[in-house]
Structure 1
Amino acid sequence: MEHHVTVGVDGSPESRAAARWAAREALLRRVPLRLVHAEDLLLPPLAPSGDPEVRERWTDEVLTGAAEELRRRHRQLDIVTRCLSGRPSAALAAEAADAALLVLGSRSLGRLVGFIIGSVSLSTLAATETPVVLVRTAGDPATDDPVVAEARPAYGEIVVGVDVRQACDRVLAFAFEEAARRDCTLRAVHGRKLPSVMGYVPVLDPDAPREAERSAARMLADMLLPWRHKFPGVRVEEKTSIGSAGRELVQATAGADLVVVGRHVRRSPLGAHLGPVAHAVLHHAAAPVAVVAHD
């Protein structure tokens, strides 16, 4: 049963931003928030000495400090804390098994370079089919004013990447549900790169690229139609384009509150399959990115 939101914390600015985002999400879902710490989540500059007692005390301070901050911001939120043992990705995946969502922080490499997807995050993505959200520090609405923190925020739009050539019901279900909770616009984006063999077609038929885009737009509309009926209150915008799907989706995320992408479930030791579009968004979108596993 999905009855809580789980977030990994390690004392870093990224994990604090992730915890604040996860707290707001838990409130939206009206479920408890679970703060968890796995020792190897530590970034090297934050790691205390190797003394077990010192590390245990530091871990307790990380969890207690994060919980106290969130309780000041959201007095009505039910918060529990847990310290995990074992391999971090496996421990986090186990914690996420009965969660609605797992939230992790993501470090920035700079505006021109992008964001780091750490080995723990990648391994956790491979180990769980629970949706995972990676949160950046950019745009984190930190505030110490509990009145401001508890006020209902004005949500921006949610952007979802859609591949019209394959079924992605779990991705669309997640995106529509998030938009419905926030009462915000959902923008569905599909980008298609024409095969290289089509490179000469515009010379012979100038309308060919436009017809390819119109065809993609029809396929996108058909794919979204059942979800529009299921969520009639969600405002939906559709965008199709010819070009790099990853670049188009990243550009569409400017100002978004959340970006939703899919990944194929790979039931093998090779781990999570992140396609080029999901890879581009995870590394270059400044908004929080939700990765939803699907067949």
Structure 2
Amino acid sequence: MLPPVIAGVDGSAESLAAADWAAREAARRDRPLRLTHVWNWHPRQEDGAPVTAAMGVPPTPLRQWGRHQARRVLRQAKERVRAVAPNVRPYDEQTEGPATAALLKAAEESELLVLGSRGLSGVTGFLVGSVAQGVVARATRPVVLVRADEEAADEHLPTPGGRPSVLTGYRDVVLGVDLGDPCDAVIEFAFEAARLRGARLHVVHAWQPPSPLGFGPGEIGLVSGPQRAEEWLGFLSAVLQIWRDKYPGVEVAETVVEGRAQSALLRAASGAGLLVVGRHLTDRPTGPRIGPVTHAAIHHVGCPVAVVPHE
């Protein structure tokens, strides 16, 4: 059996939006769709912490209640999926938590994992729950975060009159590339996402001028800003050429901008259908972490965000 697209569902509006998006993506990829619900019988247990022997075995009524709730949540998600993607036949799974650990295990079995992300906060932008953030920071497979108000028409361009529609072409897929460490897995994911949609791929690289204190005699950093931009654009084109050859049907737009990568991606993703960013799979003494660019993307970009882990 092919690895499925998996959506984590808990009955919330954001998880139902994630299930909808996952159903459409499963149809695009011709993959099975699995709906996964994780329930935790011990609500005071810190997510990610093991259940100790002192906690004992959960009373039978609590287990029964958890299973009943899981069946209700999964039934609701399946009905929603069938309404928005009638050709997709989801199957479901319920498991006990902690949620982060259970979803990380599910991610290992998936083509990609889709999770919901809460709505807009006037102070910090979009709120990413601790479970979703913990999964993004540790997953070894791609994770897509979907906002609570995401709908099928949001992936598509508006009509000439400005009305939402699912009959128009797809909005851009935006890819953030670090030319200091371009990663094949991230680039391939973005090209494939654009191919599946028949969408344009907009590739963005942000560069910052080197500090004058670091210049040596005759170093390239002494050239003008426009010249440096041209050099970065040439480098970006060279990095993408192998992928253009592999995906000849994908239209590619390339942008290099001077400034912070976070700001450049937020601007580029405005009006996009999907943003793709990478995350290093590194073992740090302080544990897994999300880099500043990915952190900004998942908290402030309004479209679905795909975080692709890579070495």
User: TM-score with structure 1 length normalisation?
Assistant: 0.86
% of aligned pairs identical? 41
Alignment of 1:206-221 (within 5 A): 208-221=224-237
1:114, 1:283 within 8 Å by CA — same for their partners in 2?
yes
Compute the displacement of 1:243 (Å). 0.7
| Distance of 1:96 and 1:206 partners within structure 2 | 47
CA 1:6 to 1:251, structure 2 compared with 1: closer, same or farther past 3 Å?
same
For 1:19, give the aligned amino acid: A
Residue 58 of structure 1: how far off its partner (Å)? 2.0
Residue 173 of structure 2 is aligned to residue 158 of structure 1: yes
Aligned residue for 1:154, secondary structure, equals coil
1:247 alignment partner in structure 2: 263
Counterpart of 2:200 in structure 1 is 185
Counterpart position of 1:47: none
SS of the residue aligned with 1:124? Answer: helix
Match of 2:139 among 117, 121, 128: 128
Does structure 2 retain, via aligned residues, the 8 Å contact 1:213–1:240? yes
Q: Say whether residues 1:195 and 2:210 are aligned partners.
A: yes
Alpha-carbon distance between aligned partners in 1 of 2:89 and 2:69, rounded to the nearest angstrom: 23
The separation in 2 between residues aligned to 1:138 and 1:256, in whole angstroms, is 15
Q: Secondary structure at the match of 2:152?
A: coil
Structure number with bigger Rg: 2
Of 173-182 and 57-66, deviating more is 57-66
For the pair 1:74 / 2:89, whether they are aligned, the reply is no
Q: For residue 54 of structure 1, report the CA deviation from its aligned partner.
A: 3.3
Partner of 1:8: 8
Cα distance in 2 between the residues matched to 1:207 and 1:40: 59
Kindly indicate whether residue 53 of structure 2 is the aligned counterpart of residue 37 of structure 1. no
Q: Is the 8 A contact 1:265 1:273 kept in 2?
A: no
> In 2, distance between residues paired with 1:198 and 1:189?
27
Which range moves more in the overlay, 8-17 or 210-219?
210-219
Task: Please say if 1:54 is aligned against 2:62.
Answer: no
Mapped pair 1:275 → 2:291: yes
Q: CA deviation at 1:62?
A: 0.7
Deviations 1:253-272 (A, max 9, x none): 01111000000001356443
Q: CA deviation at 1:197?
A: 3.5
Contact 2:14 2:149 in 1 (8 A): no
How many residue pairs match? The answer is 278
Alpha-carbon deviation of 1:137? 2.3
Contact persistence 2:17–2:150 (CA under 8 A): no
Secondary structure of 1:121's partner? Answer: helix
Which residue matches 1:145?
A: none
Please, which moves more after superposition, 67-76 or 262-271?
A: 262-271
One-letter amino acid of the structure 2 residue matched with residue 87 of structure 1: P
State the TM-score, normalizing by the size of structure 2.
Answer: 0.82
Quick one: which amino acid aligns to residue 283 of structure 1? H
Counterpart position of 2:56: none
SS of 1:6 mapped into structure 2: strand
SS for the counterpart of 1:105 is: strand
8 Å CA contact 1:31–1:78 kept in 2: the answer is no
Q: Tell me the residue number matched to 1:97.
A: 108
Query: SS state of the match for residue 262, structure 2?
Result: helix
CA RMSD of aligned residues (A): 2.7
> How far is 1:97 from its partner?
1.4
* Alpha-carbon distance in structure 2 between the residues aligned to 1:198 and 1:29: 50
Report what 1:148 is aligned to: none
- Spell out the pairing of 1:112-151 with structure 2 (5 A cutoff): 113-141=124-152
3-state secondary structure, aligned to 1:159? strand
Change (3 A) 1:139 1:7: closer
SS of the residue aligned with 2:199? coil
Partners of 2:137 and 2:290 within 8 A in 1: no
Give the counterpart letter for 1:13 in structure 2: A
Q: Secondary structure at the match of 2:106?
A: helix
**Structure 1 residues 75 and 185, CA gap change in structure 2 (3 angstroms):** same
Is the 2:17–2:148 Cα contact (8 Å) retained in structure 1? yes
Which shifted more, 106-115 or 248-257? 106-115
Instruction: Report the Cα offset of residue 207 of structure 1.
Output: 5.8
Structure 1 match to 2:305: 289
Gaps of 5+ in 2: 45-60, 154-165, 216-220
